[in-house]
A and B are shown apart, each in its own frame.
Chain A
Amino acid sequence: MISVLAGLARWRWLLPLNLALAIWWALVVDPNTIQGRFLNAAVQGVQVIMFLAPATAVAGVLAGASLRRNAQRVRTGSRGSAALAASVCAIHVVIALVALSLSSLMVRLSSNASGFDGWQLIALAGLTAGGASAVGQALGRGLPEVVAAPTALLGSYVVLAFPRTFAEPLWLRHLVFVDSCCNSTDRVSPRVLTAILLMAVSTIVAGLLATLRAGRALPGLIGAAAVLAVAWTVSTGLVRDLDWSPATARTGDVECTQAADGEVCVWPENAAALPRLADVWTGLRETARAHGLELPTTVTERTGGPVTYGDGLMSITPQTSAEAFPEVLATAALPSVEPCIVNGTMDSRIDNAWLTLARWWISTSGFTYSANLIDPPYDYLDVPSAELDQRLGVLVDSIRTCDPGSLP
């Protein structure tokens, strides 16, 4: 029976085609975009669904057409046609999952990524391929093959590609698959994952209901429409308030190391940088303590809320150069200037105070900074050495309170 079902699913050409597409896609993806994290490898790897789904839909049409041609034989067999359609759909999901996993793992290997936190995307893309298969089978059973096949091919591509091209509504893109995500501080929103799951499963169920025949065709079509309507309503309710980004703040455990009087904590994919980060943080903390700067003793990548930088929060990738660590850590520990931005503008004195502090802190600790930390036009630290610590405190307080009034 398995071999009959596999033949019906056209596995002989679908599996090699899917594998070839997966390998080709993994070679096309730029590994520099992965940032050492499997989630990003999965996001890039599963984009091959844009090609797998149309191929699976065509295989579904051919299976549906075969079932229609053999309807009499099937009717007298031991297994109902709906069960056969579901079995074919399951085989298509397995084939897609194999290809999607291969693509994602190849991207993972080529980019030296770590973890497996993007497996949900692979599973969801597999279900999306299952939806293409079910709809293809429904078309293949109801329409001539030469009409159903182009319709399924084009339709599955349009459903995947077009929502991302619409300026409005932006949330529409979150119903099928994730095509861009995530920075190291982000993860894919569970609401997006749930919405994709609902749409994929409901498409499979609707497609299978639409394959029903022998007096059950009309109830099947009504049932399919009802399932899709409910899934659409719930899914759009989940993502309606999102913009183009499917990301939300990342959760999970960071890896920490003791440094001076505090800690440095990074996400697992950046753990290799911890010893060097700890050395640099120790140097920066010693300077801060020597001058009485009231700054965080711990810097971490774990935000636990809306993503901001400063006030102890930082973000690196495995590609971040060790030479940039002093700047990264100083930026993380200094007060964030973001709250001081009102209507897109900020008092330039706040900006100058921040630049002055950052440059002084890094250079006094014996490190170098990049050209990004430009020389501020005012030298706020041109004071007698006895007043230096007090002036540093004034700068920190001015940034923290967004009040430039006390600045010279």
Chain B
Amino acid sequence: MKEWLRARRAGWCAGAIAALAATAGLAAGNLPSLNLLYRNSEGAPLRLVIPALAATGTLTALISPTPRAELTSARVGRHDAALMAGLVGGALVLAEGMPAVMGTADHPFTFTRNLVGFFAIGLIARSLLPATIAALIPLAWMIPTLTLARPEGDLIAWPLLIDGADPRGIGAAVVLLGIGFVAEVGWTRQRPQRTP
């Protein structure tokens, strides 16, 4: 198990995700960014942007260093599931728990919504693209969102919705997660991992 975790770079990924989640939990303010369509540079709260990085980190930990071995009987699905749940769960506890304990929660549950949504986008991408590229898709998704979307967010730009209880954002994340789960279990895990 130790070797398996090391091969998956689990330690590095967990460390990076913990640092990102802690930053999201503690840091207030916006990540400035240029919106080309609406010509403003206010950007979006860090708490809404960091989940894209955390999702990339989690998807990176799912990349097998030996793609062909993924098809052998040695493949253990529950290990992948446990690693995935551990990284996502840990990030959520840190990012949502720290501000709740400190009483500084600005936009509660937006980190959860965005991490779930971005991670699901990555799972969908894993069924279509090589695993290394798929891990970049949440990050790549955030670029047009910050660059083109309405600054206050809408259904298409659900990661920018400030209200964590907004049903459009929750709906988008849940639907993406459903599709991502089906894609991962029904397609990605039935085939050898592709390399770029």
Contact = CB atoms under 8 A, between A and B. Distances in A.
B147 A161 contact: yes
B124 interface: no
Nearest to B130: A62
A118 to B, nearest CB: 17
A161 B132 contact: no
Contacts of A165: 32-34, 41, 43
Central interface residue in B32, B34, B53, B63, by most chain A CB within 10 Å: B34
Interface in B1-43: 9, 32-34, 36-37, 41, 43
A51 B37 CA distance: 14
A196 B39 CA distance: 22
B136 interface: yes
B56 A50 contact: no
A164 B41 contact: yes
B36 A50 contact: yes
Contacts of B148: 28
A153 B136 contact: yes
A255 interface: no
B143 A51 contact: yes
B56 A150 contact: yes
B9 A153 contact: no
A179 interface: yes
Contacts of A146: 9, 60, 63, 132, 135
Given A62-B196, A161-B147, A165-B43, A150 B34 contact: no
B140 interface: yes
Interface residues of A, number: 22
Interface residues of B, number: 24
Contact of B33 (A10, A58, A149, A162): A162
A144 B143 CA distance: 23
Interface in A19-47: 28, 47
Contacts of B41: 164-165
Nearest to A66: B196
B87 interface: no
A58 B36 contact: no
B135 A54 contact: no
Nearest to A146: B60
Given A150-B56, A165-B41, A54 B36 contact: no
B174 interface: no
B115 interface: no
Contacts of B147: 50-51, 161
Interface string B133-150: 101100110011011100
B32 A162 contact: yes
Nearest to A157: B143
B83 to A, nearest CB: 15
Interface string B38-71: 0001010000000001001000100100000000
Nearest to A145: B132
Nearest to A180: B39
B139 A154 contact: yes
B140 A153 contact: yes
A10 B32 contact: no
A51 B143 CA distance: 8
A10 B63 CA distance: 21
Interface of A: 10, 28, 47, 50-51, 54, 58, 62, 144-146, 149-150, 153-154, 157, 161-162, 164-166, 179
25 contacts: A47-B36, A50-B143, A50-B147, A51-B147, A54-B143, A58-B133, A144-B9, A145-B132, A146-B9, A146-B60, A146-B63, A146-B135, A149-B133, A149-B135, A150-B56, A150-B135, A153-B136, A162-B34, A164-B34, A164-B41, A165-B33, A165-B41, A165-B43, A166-B32, A179-B36
Interface of B: 9, 32-34, 36-37, 41, 43, 53, 56, 60, 63, 132-133, 135-136, 139-140, 143-144, 146-148, 196
Given A47-B36, A149-B135, A150-B136, 7 more contacts: A50-B34, A150-B60, A150-B139, A153-B140, A157-B143, A161-B146, A165-B41
